[in-house]
Structure 1
Amino acid sequence: MSLTWLGVYLAIAITSTLSGVLGMGGGMLLMGFLTLVLPTGTAMMLHGLAQMAANGSRVLLHIRHVAWRILPAYGLGAAGAVFLLYAVQFLPERWLIYLLMGSMPWFALYGKRLMVLDIEKPLHAVFCGLLVTTLQLASGVSGPALDIFYLHTRMSRHQIVASKAITQALGHGLKLLYYGSMLSTAAFSSSEILAVCGVALLGTVLGGKFLDKANDQSFQLWSRRIILLISVVYLVQGFYELSLVLGVTG
């Protein structure tokens, strides 16, 4: 096993645990790590595989809390996003990935003051599927944007984590298919696929244990602080990468 893959497995385990507690955040950290050590297309596919496994296992862990009623409308919006981006054969640059990941939490923080969105309303759910899936395909992650649609629901923390997980599993599955249909160099061996799914499941189980010990107030407070801290790092990195592309530095 190479050091790169050892680092990938460790990153998946840690970030899956974080997402299991907060319902988000882990995907942002994992995407940042993968784009540093792998080509963008390969990173997107591996991220999609890991996050689909992590979110899928989280669904099984909290399946009794899933709000199934939101799925049809969400799925309609998600399908629209895939169709639009595939029509133009969109492949993102790394600087765009970082800037999108870094700006999403701030949009989520201040967007709730401009928009009152509720995932339980059908039209809002369609918009959520369209926006979140577009961001997943463009930057790899979409957790902070997805969070806006849960700020005004009456769901418990377990319902939020479970419902986010099932929509995120769908989105990452679509991302895996999207990039797999356009790239032929990002295939993984069966042993690598099993290892990725295994460590993602391990992180999910550990995160679920921590979630059970949290309370709703601390859950919301620490979610916001951690995500904003991560976003600042990505904004700095994104602007640096863009400056290199434009020839401003280096």
Structure 2
Amino acid sequence: MSPFLVLAILSLCAFGTSIISAVVGMAGGIVLLSLMTFFLPLQVIIPVHGLVQLISNSTRTWFLRQHVVKPVFFWFCAGLPFGALTSTYIIKTIKDPTPGYAMIALLIFYTLFKPKKLPHLSIPFPAFILLGALVGLLGPLIGATGPFLAPFFLRDDFSKENIISTKSSVQTMGHLIKVPVFLSVGFPYIEHSAMIITMTIAAVLGTKAGVELLGKMHEKTFRLIFKTALFGAALRLLYKIYSSMA
């Protein structure tokens, strides 16, 4: 397949998955990550995917900026550097992301199917500093951290716009902090600049289209779609675990 055709396909993928993320709040990043595996080696996928998602999430945050829950954003950002610093030391040694995938899948299933007597994952805002540290650690290792974050944003005191905008804002910072991590291990971003630029332009256009759809969606419909996307993400993680063990 010609490089131009690969670039065109990946740009269309970035456009479509950005629409998904803007409407649902997640799943788009994972779908894009999966599609990129058909065309690129793993050592290229996670750094490039992270940069494209950085632009996609930051654009989504800007379009919905008035809905961002700022205390969550600031507490999350305070924890990010600690996890990212740790990841720079272990990214060269850890080759198997299976334990991380299993942890995220369990977290999702707990959120979706827990008995009513068990507590919600509605953590106090200062606790997001710990979530930020975990995302800083996991992001460079497993790529897409959306399924890990999502259960903590599915809370009764957040509207659908609060969920999408605040989750996008913290994911923007999570993807941003991956850039120096990959630069520190020598990833050549310049060599892949054409792909990064075209995919990010497509992601911005997809995000704008998705945000317009979000404004027309009913709150109950959004929460149903969000939970369905979470369930699908968990099943995919279980499949990845099964495939790695087979």
- Report what 2:53 is aligned to: 51
CA distance in 1: counterparts of 2:35 and 2:207, whole angstroms: 19
Do 1:70 and 1:119's aligned partners in 2 also have CA atoms closer than 8 Å?
A: no
The gaps in structure 2 that reach 5 residues or longer are: none
Q: Cα distance, 1:38 vs. partner?
A: 1.5
Distance 1:68 1:216 in 2: 21
Q: Matches of 1:200 and 1:102 in 2, distance apart? A: 29
For 1:52 and 1:165, the matched residues in 2 are separated by 9
Q: Deviations over 1:72-118 (max 9, x none)?
A: 3211221111111113344654x637x74576244223057465443
Which residues in structure 2 correspond to 1:93-242 (within 5 Å)?
Answer: 93=95, 96=97, 100-101=100-101, 104-111=104-111, 113=114, 116-118=120-122, 120-122=124-126, 124-242=127-245
Give yes or no for contact 2:104–2:148 (8 Å, CA) kept in 1.
Answer: yes
Distance in structure 2 (CA, Å) of the matches to 1:179 and 1:153: 37
Percent identical residues: 24
Q: Distance in 1 between matches of 2:93 and 2:14?
A: 23
- How far is the alpha carbon of 1:234 from its aligned partner? 4.1
Aligned to 1:32: 34
Q: Which residue, 71, 74, 78 being the options, matches 1:72?
A: 74
Distance between the aligned counterparts of 1:148 and 1:226, measured in 2?
11
Q: CA deviation at 1:203?
A: 0.9
Q: Which moved more, 1:217-226 or 1:51-60?
A: 217-226
RMSD, aligned CA? 2.4
Residues 66 and 162 in structure 1, CA contact (< 8 A), matched pair in contact too: yes
Aligned pair in 2 of structure 1 residues 104, 39: CA closer, same or farther (>3 Å)? same
Q: Deviations over 1:206-226 (max 9, x none)?
A: 111111111111111112213
Using the size of structure 2 for normalisation, the TM-score is 0.86
- Say whether the 8 Å CA contact 2:23–2:211 is kept in structure 1: yes
Q: 2:11 aligns with which of 4, 9, 12?
A: 9
Residues 113-165 of structure 1, C-alpha deviation per residue, up to 9 Å, x if partnerless? 4654435521x111111223323222111112212222335121111111111
- TM-score of the superposed pair, with normalisation by structure 1: 0.85
Q: C-alpha separation between the residues in 1 aligned to 2:218 and 2:100? A: 30
Preserved contact between residue 42 and residue 185 of structure 1 (Cα < 8 Å): no
Q: 1:68, CA displacement in angstroms?
A: 1.5
Task: Kindly indicate whether the alpha-carbon contact (under 8 Å) linking 2:91 and 2:140 is maintained by their aligned counterparts in 1.
Answer: no
In structure 1, list runs of 5 or more residues that go unmatched. Answer: 244-250
Q: Which residue of 1 aligns with 2:62?
A: 60
